[in-house]
Amino acid sequence: MKTLTLKLDRVNLTDEQFYNLCLANPDRQLERNSTGDLIVIANLFNFETFCWSQHSAGSTNSY
């Protein structure tokens, strides 16, 4: 499982804003830790499938 942690100490994201962020991104697993950092948990299976499909389709983009 891969995660991305974003420091939000200067953003002051409220609980309601975080809730709305989660609602707006139902395909992402978002969490907050005890210090208020935003943690995005990557669904590695979907990411690997996406990269494989891009490669199979002959895409020249780097990810």
Whether 63 maps to a domain, the answer reads no
Query: Which pTM was predicted?
Result: 0.61
Residue 62 lies in a domain: no
Which residues constitute the domain of residue 10? 2-56
Burial class (CB in 10 A: 0-12, 13-18, 19+), 37: middle
The number of domains in the chain is 1
- Report the candidate in 60, 1, 6 with the shortest Cα–Cα distance to residue 31: 6
- The residue with tokens 């200067």 is 10
In a domain, 20, yes or no: yes
Residue 40 lies in a domain: yes
Q: What is the pLDDT of residue 42?
A: 78
Is 18 domain-assigned? yes
Asked if 29 and 40 touch (Cβ cutoff 8 Å), the reply is: yes
How do the pLDDT tens digits run along the chain, 63 residues long?
Answer: 788 899 998 998 999 999 999 999 998 899 999 999 999 987 655 555 555 555 555 544 444
Residue reference for tokens 């942690």: 5
